[in-house]
Amino acid sequence: MKTRGIIIGILILAGAAFGQNRRFDIQVSFGGWSLSPFRSIVERECERLIKNEFNKLVESAIPNDLLTPLLSSVDLSSSGHFFSLAASYRFGEGRFSVGLRGDYFDFRVPYSLSVNESLEIWGFPLAALEGQGQGTVRLSGLAVSVLGRWTPLMTKRVDLSLQAGLMMLPFQGKILLDLTAALKTALGDLQFSGSFDDTFDEIRDLGLDLPSVIFSPTLGIEFRYRFLPDAGFFLNATVAQGRFLSGGLFISF
């Protein structure tokens, strides 16, 4: 009986020592993404892509001699979700840590666009072009971030941390567009419509200089609550290429 008590005491002390030296964290989370309220590189590149494809579609229906540079107006919105897995290592007393995070994302950027302008030949107005289109840019892939974390508030149950790092976001996906337009001239009106469904790689092959990868700084804040000494849940808000809000579970060992 005495020997059993000694063994149990040793195990308790070893477990306590192990608990005090937990260095690694694993986090799993799920969340939503939005472009607003910021104008990110992703938004600018999506807008440039939309205008390029819109102009190509118009040019396929109207003789190039009639076209001046089209000034189209693009209205973007966004929605999406992502799944994350992160691993980090804590230094010293655990207030500082560094790690990697992978985000598998599936983002949709619905948009509408319009054009309303006059067409000229040799400087003389010849016709008026009115057009509307709508579609979706869909982005998907695996983003990777290198992160550092500082935890100014650390209690037995609750942690509050600040994060900063660098995100590498692949700019891959496809774009869909449906267009209707009318060309009004003195001789009558011409109605036309069109659509396309192209991948980013197909568009790059046709000569548009789209980035393959977008690098972005990332800043975030994270709240943690431990329901066990080495496990709990967390909430995270991050600003990078848009706004990321997520929640999930973590384990320390």
Q: Average pLDDT, stretch 86-110?
A: 90
The reply to whether the predicted model has a pTM over 0.95 is: no
Query: Per-residue pLDDT for 68 more than 60?
Result: no
- The pLDDT tens digits of the residues spanning 203-218 come to 888 788 888 999 999 9
Q: What are phi and psi of 4, to 5 degrees?
A: -60, -40
Residue 66 gets which letter from DSSP?
G
In whole angstroms, give the CA distance from residue 43 to residue 36: 9
- The pLDDT tens digits of the residues spanning 130-183 come to 777 788 888 889 999 999 999 999 998 999 999 999 999 998 888 888 877 777
The helix (H) or strand (E) run that includes residue 42 is helix 41-59
pLDDT at 157: 93
Comparing 9-18, 169-178, 244-253, the range with the smallest average pLDDT is 9-18
Pair 90, 23: CB distance under 8 Å = yes
Q: Average pLDDT, stretch 115-130?
A: 70
Count of Cβ atoms closer than 10 Å to residue 29 Cβ = 21
CATH of domain 23-252: 2.40.160.20
Please state, rounded to an integer, the average pLDDT across all residues of the chain: 80
